[in-house]
A and B are shown apart, each in its own frame.
Chain A
Amino acid sequence: DTGVSQNPRHKITKRGQNVTFRCDPISEHNRLYWYRQTLGQGPEFLTYFQNEAQLEKSRLLSDRFSAERPKGSFSTLEIQRTEQGDSAMYLCASSLDGRGHEKLFFGSGTQLSVL
């Protein structure tokens, strides 16, 4: 169990640029979640995958955000035309499916700063 890995750890970008983050979940985990967290707040749900299928996406998420999980393995989160309000920690978590496996395992996050 190598844990959930997120890259990059930090990203600084200029407003209007596109950014892409990667998450490698624990290998046998079929559930994958993306969250956004700003200072002093709890993680805010963005989207959720069951294997390669994106089953739920927050209505708060604008069309500038897109996530993929090809082949049900790693996942990418892309933000197009970044805005200063996108500055936050982006967290990825994974878990197994089913009763008794609800515990989420989190990565260390990607800290995005939009200048």
Chain B
Amino acid sequence: SQQGEEDPQALSIQEGENATMNCSYKTSINNLQWYRQNSGRGLVHLILIRSNEREKHSGRLRVTLDTSKKSSSLLITASRAADTASYFCATEPGGYQKVTFGIGTKLQVIP
């Protein structure tokens, strides 16, 4: 079963624009992570935010977490064609050690 749901499922933007993806989850969590996957490859970790944090930055990435709404957002600023990939949120439910993924947002950045 998949814990998270990303929204939108697909997003197409022009290079230089910002891209925002949202993730909603169902149960309480220890942390929430975002991963990126290029077509046919494994996933690469982007950023982690803990349940007691509200916002985190890493380079062009900004992640927010609202535990009351059980939701998170990933913002990629000044997008580049190389950002074209699928993006997944992953949660580690409280009291468990398994990490479960959402269905992903497929981002296309048009040069």
Contact = CB atoms under 8 A, between A and B. Distances in A.
Among B30, B42, B97, B101, which residue has the most Cβ atoms of chain A within 10 A?
Answer: B42
B101 A35 contact: yes
Interface string A80-112: 000000000101010000000011111111010
29 contacts: A4-B42, A41-B103, A42-B102, A42-B103, A42-B104, A43-B43, A43-B88, A43-B101, A44-B2, A45-B98, A45-B100, A45-B101, A48-B97, A55-B97, A56-B96, A60-B1, A89-B40, A93-B42, A102-B30, A102-B31, A102-B33, A102-B99, A103-B45, A103-B48, A104-B33, A106-B43, A108-B41, A108-B42, A109-B42
Interface residues of B, number: 26
Nearest to A58: B1
B97 A42 contact: no
Contacts of B35: 104
List the 7 shortest-distance A-B pairs measured between CB atoms, nearest first. Answer: A106-B42, A42-B101, A103-B45, A106-B43, A43-B101, A42-B103, A108-B42
A33 interface: yes
A50 interface: yes
Interface of B: 1-2, 4, 30-31, 33, 35, 40-45, 48, 88, 90, 92, 96-104
Nearest to A3: B42
Contacts of A35: 101
Nearest to B1: A60
Contact of B2 (A42, A50, A89, A109): A42
Contact of A102 (B4, B92, B100): B92
Contact of B43 (A55, A58, A104): A104
Contacts of A4: 42
A42 B88 contact: yes
B33 A103 contact: yes
Nearest to A50: B97
Interface in A51-77: 55-56, 58, 60
Given A42-B104, A45-B98, A102-B99, 5 more contacts: A42-B103, A43-B43, A45-B1, A91-B42, A109-B41
